[in-house]
Amino acid sequence: MKRIRMWLRELSLSQQLLSMIFLFIMIFAMFVIIFLSPSIERFTEAEMYNRLHSAQESLILYADQNPGQSLDFVQTDGAISAYLFDHEKNTFTVIYGSKMDQTLKERLKTNANVPYSGTLDSFYTPEDQLDGTNTPVDNTVLYSKTLLNDGRELITVMSNAAQQRLRDSLINGVVLLNVSFVIGFMVMLLIWVTTLILPLSQIKYYIAKIKNEEDAELVVKRNDEIGEVADALRDMNAQLKKQNREKEEMIQNISHDLKTPIATIKSYGESIKDGIYPYETLEKSVDVIIEHANRLEKKVKSLIILNKMDYLKDTVEEGNHLNMNKIIDKALLSLKVVRPEISFICELDEEVYFHGEEEEEPWRIVVENLIDNALRYSKSYIKVTLQDDELCVINDGKNISKDRLSTLFHRYEKGTDGQFGLGLSIVHRVVTTYGYRVAAENLTEGVCFRIWHDAKTQKPKKTNENTPA
């Protein structure tokens, strides 16, 4: 069985289907030979004896209704001969048909004293007509005898040539019917196979075109699984094209976003090398270089995290939990100094754990990006709340327009200040990778960025000690 499966796997789909057709034909032929032929044989034999019985019944009925009348014109079947055998006189009388075969006469005389009642069916083959295995050949004789009330026997005889003709006729009819059925079935199966192979070939060609980044159109309109695959491939191609456009746009935006700090660092470095301080003093000029270098570092770090999340999408394992209280404390410690005039309101439940990897970096970037975004737009305060499976960062800045609420988390979405960024897209990518959800909501005053999980995260028995960044 294993070898058969391996052999089938090496065949193409069309070859597998043709093999199934051939196997079906072989099984059908074996069925005809093994089961149908014996059935036809039994049916034709029974039919012949029925004809013999019918001829006897006609003779007996006429004789009862017309006593003393000749029966020779009662013949109804030209293949049948009818006789009367008188036991007392030991004579055979021909009612109609040919004279009785001498071998049959002797056999009937031998069995004349065998007691029976009703009708007795049998056959015989003359000795000279037997082959070496004593198997009856074509001229076997079928006969039936009925014991009459007067002690005589009514005998009807038929050569099996009639049976052979009937058998041949039935076999030919069955074979013709079966051949017609098989041919029709094969034609329908081939049409069906073609309807499978053709769209699959189109799909294969379409995939090859997509692989080579060439324009292609897939015209497969079906309501079955193949149609579903075709629809999925068309959707995938459209998504790939969209992603390629987004990648091209992202590369352009990254290039644009990195050009300024790189140019600034380069020009300031060259000026300082020449003994010129572009920003008043050496210390202030170096601070500008460091500021832009930090900006570059942050961009690169964001890209690395975003790329990492893309690869972690299908490999995240359950069971790791991170202490969000510690992560938020670290983020606030580093960001409070950015805008000292902003007040921070923290409402944090104790020992709140979020699902994640062993390292805290992705969740720390999420918290830092949300707080950094809040610092950019807040007027006077930022509120951070933490409960079981829910984190909220609220600022009292302006509301976000409804058309931008749905695009905030897209990669390189342009902000209100005209700059491109990855911050919120990284937030969305990390959050969704770990099975959470994120959304921005306008409040009466300000905006709330909310992260939550539909299912409760189990609190670990031991506190996960995170490594400080």
pLDDT score, position 343: 93
Is the full-model pTM beyond 0.75? no
Q: How far is CA 83 from CA 45, 56, 105, 387, in A?
A: 21, 10, 11, 111
Q: How far is CA 35 from CA 38, 42, 166, 236, in A?
A: 6, 11, 18, 54
pLDDT score, position 188: 82
- pLDDT tens by residue, the chain, 469 residues: 567 667 666 667 667 777 777 777 787 777 777 777 778 778 888 888 888 888 888 888 877 766 656 666 566 566 788 888 887 888 888 888 777 777 777 777 766 655 555 566 676 565 443 333 334 445 678 888 888 877 788 888 887 777 777 777 777 777 777 778 778 877 887 787 777 778 888 888 888 888 887 887 888 888 888 888 888 888 888 888 887 877 777 677 677 667 778 888 888 899 888 888 888 888 888 888 898 888 788 777 777 776 776 666 555 555 568 899 999 998 888 788 788 899 999 999 988 999 887 778 889 889 988 998 899 899 999 999 999 889 999 999 999 888 888 788 876 555 555 444 567 888 888 888 888 999 999 998 899 999 998 765 444 433 344 433 3
Specify the CATH architecture of the domain 225-309.
Orthogonal Bundle (1.10)
Specify the CATH architecture of the domain 13-166.
2-Layer Sandwich (3.30)
Domain segments of the chain as ranges: 13-166, 225-309, 316-452
pLDDT score, position 463: 36
pLDDT score, position 42: 81
pLDDT score, position 7: 65
Topology annotation, domain 316-452: Heat Shock Protein 90 (3.30.565)
